[in-house]
Amino acid sequence: MKRAALAILAFLMTAPAAEAAQGIDKTVHNLSRTGPGTVKSQTATAVCAFCHTPHGAAPQTPGWNRNASGQAYVEYDSSTMQAVPTQPAGSSQLCLSCHDGTVALGLLRRPIPGAGKGAGLLGTFITGRGSLNTDLSDDHPISFAYDHVLAAADGNLANPDLIGLPLEDQKMECGTCHDAHESDVVPFLRRSMANGELCLTCHLPGGTAWSWSQASHANSSATDLSGAAWQERKPQWRGANVAENACFNCHVSHGAPKRAQLIKKSEEEACYLCHRGGVATTNIFKDMHKPSRHRVTAYSGTHETGESFSPSPPVDHVECEDCHNPHAANSATTSAPLAPGSLSGVSGIDSSGIQIAESFNSYEICYKCHADNHVATTTTVLRQILEFNTRLEFDLSNPSYHPVEGPGRNDFVPSLISPLTVNSQIYCSDCHSSNDSPGAGGAGAKGPHGSIYEPLLERNYSTSDGTSESGYSYALCYKCHSRSSILSDESFPGHRKHIVDERTPCSACHDAHGIDSGSGNAFNNSNLINFDTSIVSTNSMGQGPLFEDNGHRAGSCALSCHNVEHKPCSYTGSSTSCQN
């Protein structure tokens, strides 16, 4: 029996590759002289012997003909990860005995019959993409428990009993994704990467109101014919379009430049791979380099998925991911104030100042940075009542506000252009958007990415005293408010005199956001009245600057403006009376 067993072993160690193992002979893991790769022995004919031996094997199964490298590895880490990786074990330890690049391919425990112990590969090491080295922090985590406890804690992982991939002692290892004996799906994958099939076996990006299956990135047929967008750190396989590339549009499993979340490039640069006008139809890169913009390029390594913005972010910053969730963003359209599909699955701050995991309304996303933590600390208009907290400016208890959170308080606004009415609501991005966005009559990107008009405005809004009235000077106001109505004094009998004759800007009297109820009141601050103190001041009697609301087309002002004294000036209907 012993002699027969030795004969069988000798046959297996020297048999033609096709008989040694199904499929492996056609892969680069066949290091014998019959292998298809460029790295191989010139003498050995056995295929399995480079990894396995029936005698004198290492303790690891199955019959391992190599020793573990004994290296201490740097493990993957991320603030969003609930798993706890450990030093490589199981099949991962076996794979790394070649793939960490520290052990020669021919350093075997037992010699190969007819080829010797090193089989001519003692001085040969894995290099290039196949070498993971000993720093695994840029690679998909391994050797962690993938069980029901982890799945429940993460919330976006599949039931480990149903994934249909092999776990080792309930742990995720290299062998969970890779089959070392088959490479029908390059590189040695157990499932295709097309449409994210392999990744989505375990990862279930989704939430209460959105999911990957509806996301634009999961369904887009957009392609880059030159392939330029996917050249850097591209996988060995590449799909025909964005939908087929799926996860690999942004992520790589090994050697990721941005280690946490395994992203191809750092932060906004990963988005620019497609959103630079080469794949996506609109050029976000161009907007992000306009004079007024969200300054994503000014920050690096500060954004963390799931970070707290209440009461303030840990580090002031703005990144694409603060407003967009690439796993959820879609093309669904909505009406104000509801968040459109492009903003799906993004955290926010609600109207009460409380952080919410998923924004229902668009303004809640803006409030993450422009509310209680008021990132902006400067203003071009010196208001009588100065407020940097945008959430407070739009509060529905205020004496007046633009209708972002809800319909406005004023029931008399004859200048509104149809279909707008006093019951309408608007988005922040109706005013703050790209200057060549669809809202401005252009074909550029929607939203507040960048503009030639400060502060990130869709259209021009002049605030300098002495501005000559024109459709361009107050283009932002005239987007919603009829220029002819304003200049015909339909809502206030002094509009034309102030704007045209005196060349006083709209901003001299009106505060576009709103007036906080903690500082203003309905009698003095209705109609968005909040004077620019660089233009309007107290009169010679020490009065004001003060506005008093006496109803529709009726009120008075006590102030000094352009060296004209209002002591006060009153108006009713179409008549005006001033005590100068």
Tens-digit pLDDT profile for residues 13-71: 433 333 334 589 899 999 999 999 999 999 999 999 999 998 888 887 788 999 888 89
Cα gap 47→33, rounded to integer Å: 9
Amino acid identity, position 357: A
What pLDDT sits at residue 118?
85
Unique residue bearing structure tokens 């800007």: 505
Phi, psi of 515 (to 5 degrees): -120, 120
Q: Is 496 exposed, middle or buried (0-12, 13-18, 19+ CB in 10 A)?
A: middle
Cα end-to-end distance, the chain, whole Å: 123
Among 545, 546, 511, 557, smallest CA distance to 530 is for 511
Tokens of 31: 């290091």
Q: How confident is the model at residue 8 (pLDDT cuts 50, 70, 90)?
A: very low
Cα gap 262→223, rounded to integer Å: 22
Mean of the pLDDT values across residues 83-90? 94
- Could you please report the per-residue DSSP string of 157-188? B--TTTS-S--BTTEE-HHHHB-TT--SSTTT
Tokens of 245: 């590339």
Cα gap 571→556, rounded to integer Å: 6
Strands (E), 139-187: 144-145, 171-172
Cα gap 108→118, rounded to integer Å: 6
- Bridge-partner residues for 510, per DSSP? 529
Q: How confident is the model at residue 375 (pLDDT cuts 50, 70, 90)?
A: low
Per domain, the residue ranges of the chain are 1-190, 212-281, 538-580
Amino acid identity, position 407: P
pLDDT of residue 1 exceeding 60, the answer is no
- Could you please report the per-residue DSSP string of 473-524? TTHHHHTTB-HHHHHTTSS-TTHHIIIIIS---GGGTB-SSEE-TTT--TTT
Q: How confident is the model at residue 205 (pLDDT cuts 50, 70, 90)?
A: confident
Residues contacting residue 234 through CB under 8 Å, at least 6 positions apart: 248
The total of other beta-carbon atoms located within 10 Å of residue 245's CB is: 27
Among 450, 448, 427, smallest CA distance to 324 is for 448
What pLDDT sits at residue 302?
79
Phi, psi of 156 (to 5 degrees): -130, 30
- C-alpha angle with apex 247: 252 to 157, nearest 5 degrees? 100
Tokens of 284: 């976000």
Mean pLDDT of the chain: 89
Cα gap 259→266, rounded to integer Å: 9
Element (H, E) at 557: strand 554-561
Unique residue bearing structure tokens 């993957």: 76
- pLDDT one-digit tens code per residue, 355-365: 998 999 999 99
- pLDDT one-digit tens code per residue, 154-203: 888 999 999 999 999 999 999 999 999 998 888 899 999 999 999 999 99
- pLDDT one-digit tens code per residue, 281-331: 899 999 999 999 999 998 887 787 778 877 776 677 899 999 999 999 999
Q: How many CA atoms lie within 13 A of 509 on its CB side?
A: 21
